[in-house]
Structure 1
């Protein structure tokens, strides 16, 4: 579905506009298991790409065609060039034209769901096309350049955790990906859960990020017995860093290691990017923890449409039994 010309145009568009890591072709190749499973829809004027929307297509049971989010990809959706200092009226008109064109170019689908980027605000053109919207939240430290100022905004509890952890663990970088994955398997099993991603996928993401200098694993190792307390897989681009995957040994939840890792990650990233994104959570206890790092709440949209009557019925039944 993606010819070489459109792929190159999209790659150039990403580079020229410094798009987030989730939009990069190398990232999409990794999380979509190859370039044949995704392609960009382009909005062009006089041969110049003004906007793009990558889509990941996955065929489900009964041959349903679904456009959905790849695993570990927080945001996708449409992204445009800087439209300049337009009046509200002209900006809305430009967005309507762009988003309508991108929507019209979507391949025929039975189900569509994408989480749009944090900067996306005007979903009205999608509403007019029969899409629905739900709001999610993430927490972001918007300026990590002055690290000690960032730390000063941590809650007293978080700063106490950091001081405690410094005495218990050493912070290290570049834990082998197989060790990270097995640690995550172990920590989830200890709490009665199963891991929901494959090692193959993690290795693809990890290796792609290392190759493009856009990701590393940071971990906390016990000073006495060398056990791993916690580890984070961080990814970043020029605008933001993301706490993508966390693994925490339940035996060490009170060691303060996770707070220390967040602080050390911010120190490491402070000259590489602008902000730190905790990757969001709608879970009340997790939200509270993120907020205590002095992060700001940021809303973003999940846009959805289900043309298939069968899938709409299945969604209704599922929601009925959840209620």
Structure 2
């Protein structure tokens, strides 16, 4: 959180049982903006929300009751705020505590790939044209580990070539790169043409104990081979040491279509928010922030 909360601070609230054992926690990003107190998602962070430390051998109804009690306890501990906005991890499937506290709720989607499967199965799950694109790129491309400086230089150039602005925050990427320098939790890969060493695309992924997440990437348009970025993602997926790979998917149709072609499971997750300040409610009626759409 220190790495990503560059325009504010962060804190957490905890729920414990009578013996002091942790039952749950909620980590949140705090920003002050023009007199308003906002609890928001940090940049380049797809998931936040509640962590549940479930007791063992819970029945289904007991698990739901546990979630409701812990979530209520955590939400009531939050500091006074004018707006709260969270994107919950896909593992959180119970949105009732938020609904009952008058949160707005919508559904986002990602694609998750079970990378504990054999490579042959992962390959067969790819869309046919993706397999063709990868075959065409294998002989013509090489993939190398790189550093953030090189990644960012090419990222800016690649987005400019498509008349677009880089959507990633460089300071956050630098902070994450520094934070994970002593581990392999952050990887930076570039795909190059094997004939002239020209960079064709790049990707940054980060991981926790169970999952590797797609964080940032780019590709140059009108290059040969044309679909080198597909080959790069395939290389990352098939060599992933974690149990799963999360595309951190998009609802933008062309991006969703590309991620879908890698054969992952369409996985929903909740986006929840609540506006407590009357003035903010009025302002949002005039112009809704992009993250609440």
Fold shared by both chains (TM-score > 0.5): yes
Unmatched 5+ stretches in structure 2: none
Q: Which has the higher strand share?
A: 2
Deviation at 1:32, TM superposition (A): 1.1
* Structure 1 contact 178–199 (Cα < 8 Å) conserved: no
Deviation at 1:38, TM superposition (A): 0.7
Two-structure CA RMSD over aligned residues (Å): 1.9
Cα distance in 1 for partners of 2:220, 2:187 equals 19
Distance 1:215 1:145, change over 3 A: farther
TM-score, with normalisation over the residues of structure 1? 0.85
Q: Which has the higher helix share?
A: 1
Name 1:70's counterpart in structure 2: 42
User: Residue 263 of structure 1: which of 234, 237, 240 is its match?
Assistant: 234
* Structure 2 contact 67–94 (Cα < 8 Å) conserved: yes
Distance 1:253 1:44, change over 3 A: farther
Moved more, 65-74 or 75-84: 75-84
Distance 1:132 1:253, change over 3 A: farther
Cα distance in 1 for partners of 2:166, 2:258 equals 22
4+ residue runs over 3 A deviation: none
Distance 1:177 1:57, change over 3 A: same
Deviation at 1:212, TM superposition (A): 3.2
Name 1:49's counterpart in structure 2: 22
* Structure 2 contact 24–51 (Cα < 8 Å) conserved: yes
Cα distance in 1 for partners of 2:149, 2:117 equals 32
Cα distance in 2 for partners of 1:239, 1:292 equals 23
What are the superposed Cα offsets for residues 158-198 of structure 1, whole Å, 9 maximum, x if unpaired? 1101111112211111x121111121111111222222444
Distance 1:301 1:196, change over 3 A: same
Cα distance in 2 for partners of 1:139, 1:196 equals 20
| 1:316 and 2:289 aligned | no
What are the superposed Cα offsets for residues 48-88 of structure 1, whole Å, 9 maximum, x if unpaired? 1111110000111x211110111111111001013333333
* Structure 1 contact 240–273 (Cα < 8 Å) conserved: yes
Deviation at 1:206, TM superposition (A): 1.7
| 1:227 and 2:212 aligned | no
User: Residue 116 of structure 1: which of 65, 79, 88 is its match?
Assistant: 88
User: Residue 179 of structure 1: which of 147, 150, 153 is its match?
Assistant: 150
* Structure 1 contact 164–255 (Cα < 8 Å) conserved: no
Cα distance in 1 for partners of 2:193, 2:35 equals 50
Cα distance in 2 for partners of 1:184, 1:63 equals 35
Alignment of 1:145-184 (within 5 A): 145-173=117-145, 175-184=146-155
Aligned residue pairs total: 289
* Structure 2 contact 115–238 (Cα < 8 Å) conserved: no
* Structure 2 contact 122–238 (Cα < 8 Å) conserved: no
Cα distance in 1 for partners of 2:30, 2:75 equals 15
Name 2:31's counterpart in structure 1: 58
Give SS of 2:239's match. Answer: helix
Name 2:189's counterpart in structure 1: 218
* Structure 2 contact 43–169 (Cα < 8 Å) conserved: no
User: Residue 104 of structure 1: which of 69, 76, 83 is its match?
Assistant: 76
Give SS of 1:210's match. Answer: coil
Cα distance in 2 for partners of 1:234, 1:31 equals 15
What are the superposed Cα offsets for residues 23-56 of structure 1, whole Å, 9 maximum, x if unpaired? xxxxx1111139x811111111121111111000
TM-score, with normalisation over the residues of structure 2? 0.93
